[in-house]
Structures are given as C-alpha cells and as structure tokens.
Amino acid sequence: MSLLEIADELRVWAIPEVQEADNPALPLDNQLVSTWVRSHRDEPEKFNVSVTVTTPDGETHDPFVQIEGDLEEHIRTRIVIQVQSIPFRGSGTYWFNLRYHPTPEDAGAVVMRVSLDLKLENPGSSSLEEN
C-alpha cells in the first residue's frame, strides 16, 4: 500500500475568529485511512467504525463519523474517512480514536489511536520560512 503526503504534524497560522469562537473548530482537508482484516479468516463479517477526537486538554469529543465496514466478500478492506474539521484547542497533540463496534448497538472499543501534532504559528513568524 502506498500513501502520499502522510501528515503527523501540521503548522497552522493563528486564526483569531477560530480561536475566539465558543466551540472553535479547525477546518482540515485530510483523510484518515485504516485497513481492517477479518478476525477469523473463514468467517465473513460486518461491523461499524467510529472516530472520536481527543484534544490536547484531554477532552474527547463525540464521534464525528460512524461508518459500516464490510468483510463479507473480501478478507480485507480499507476504510477512508474524510476529516473536514476537528475541535480546536490550540497547539498540542490531537488523537483520532478508531473504535470497533461488532454491532451498531455495541459501545465498541478503541482499537487504534493516531496522533496529529498541531503547532500554532503567529502570522509573520520566521519559523515557517525556515522549514
């Protein structure tokens, strides 16, 4: 598998209207990609995947997506989740928590955490020009 332009760190410019909002959200245009394989190779299954975000302040936000995974026809599947925005709480590490739900009613369990480090830059900062 090949993925281009993998991001684990982003530098963002300070955006006063985002920072001053009651519940600020940072617009992103990224995808979260995960590969899923049957638990038992000979047993087809369907399941649900949800994603929550934990912000640097330790707060976990409700799932912004819940989709169905289908391993009935194939033993492996790739799930691509479009991330359009995340709750914004300043610089720090944001965690995307992927939860596996064997059934839609099941609360599920976190099976993978993916980190994204956000560094807040001030306009005119020379550190952007150095990288």
Residues 6+ apart with CB under 8 A from 2: none
Answer whether residue 17 is part of any domain. Answer: no
User: What's the pLDDT score for residue 56?
Assistant: 96
Burial, 88: exposed, middle or buried (Cβ in 10 Å; 0-12, 13-18, 19+)? buried
- 64-85 pLDDT per residue, tens: 788 999 999 999 999 999 989 8
Answer whether residue 38 is part of any domain. Answer: yes
Answer whether residue 91 is part of any domain. Answer: yes
Q: For residue 94, name the pLDDT band (cuts at 50, 70, 90).
A: very high
Q: Tell whether the model's pLDDT for residue 131 goes beyond 60.
A: no
Query: Domain limits at 111?
Result: 26-120
User: What's the pLDDT score for residue 7?
Assistant: 76
Q: Which two tokens stand for residue 71?
A: 């391993």
The total of structural domains in the chain comes to 1
Answer whether residue 69 is part of any domain. Answer: yes
Instruction: Find the CATH number of the domain harbouring 76.
Output: 2.60.40.10
- 46-57 pLDDT per residue, tens: 999 999 999 999
